[in-house]
C-alpha cells in the first residue's frame, strides 16, 4: 500500500494481498484522522459482504472469491469518545460465474486486493463526526 496527500485528499493505492478496509483504518490512525469519507475502484480476489438482519440484530456474512471487479466502493470512518475508529463501508462487485456475469453488493466487512485498488480518502475538515451507539438496532450511527 502506498498513499499520498494532495490538497486535503489522501490518494491510496492498495496492492496484491492488501486488505482495503483495515488499510484505510490504519492510515486514519497514523494520520490522526477522526472522521472521513472514501470511495474507489479496483480488482479484488475475495470479499465478505454482510447483510444486516434487524430481527436478529446481527449481520449475516456472504463470502465471495474469484476475479472480483470492485465497481463501487464508498464509506466513512468515525470515532467514538475514546478515539476508537469505526468504518461503515458499502461495495458492489462484478464477477463471472461460469458464462454468467453477476454482481454482489452490500455492507462490506473486508476485501483483499488481487491486482490493485485505488481509493480516495477525504478527512472531515473543520471538525469531526463522532459515533453514537443505538441499542435498539445494535449498531452505531453518526452523532451530529
- Reported as a single tens digit per residue, the pLDDT across 34-89 is 999 999 999 999 999 999 888 887 889 999 999 999 999 999 999 998 999 999 99
Task: Give CA angle at 75 (110, 92), nearest 5°.
Answer: 60
Q: What is the mean pLDDT of the chain?
A: 95
Is 63 exposed, middle or buried, given 0-12, 13-18 or 19+ CB atoms closer than 10 A?
exposed
Whole-model pTM? 0.94
Total domains in the fold of the chain: 1
CATH number at residue 82: 3.30.1330.80
Q: How far is C-alpha 121 from the geometric centre of its chain's CA atoms? A: 11
Instruction: Report whether 104 contacts 49 (CB < 8 A).
Output: yes
pLDDT interval class at 130 (50, 70, 90)? very high
- Residue 57 region, left (φ>0) first, then alpha (ψ -120 to 50), else beta? left
pLDDT interval class at 29 (50, 70, 90)? very high
Amino acid at each position: 500500500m502506498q498513499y499520498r496527500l494532495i490538497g486535503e485528499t489522501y490518494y491510496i493505492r492498495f496492492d496484491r494481498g492488501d486488505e482495503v478496509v483495515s488499510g484505510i483504518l490504519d492510515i486514519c490512525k497514523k494520520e490522526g484522522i477522526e472522521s472521513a469519507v472514501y470511495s474507489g475502484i479496483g480488482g479484488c480476489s475475495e470479499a465478505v459482504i454482510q447483510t444486516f438482519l434487524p430481527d436478529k440484530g446481527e449481520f449475516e456474512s456472504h463470502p465471495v472469491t474469484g476475479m472480483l471487479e470492485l465497481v463501487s466502493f464508498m464509506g466513512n470512518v468515525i470515532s467514538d469518545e475514546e478515539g476508537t475508529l469505526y468504518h461503515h463501508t458499502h461495495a458492489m462487485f462484478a464477477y463471472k460465474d461460469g458464462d454468467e456475469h453477476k454482481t454482489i453488493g452490500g455492507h462490506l466487512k473486508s476485501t483483499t486486493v488481487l491486482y490493485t485498488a485505488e481509493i480516495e480518502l477525504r478527512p472531515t475538515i473543520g471538525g469531526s463526526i463522532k459515533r453514537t451507539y443505538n441499542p435498539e438496532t445494535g449498531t452505531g450511527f453518526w452523532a451530529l
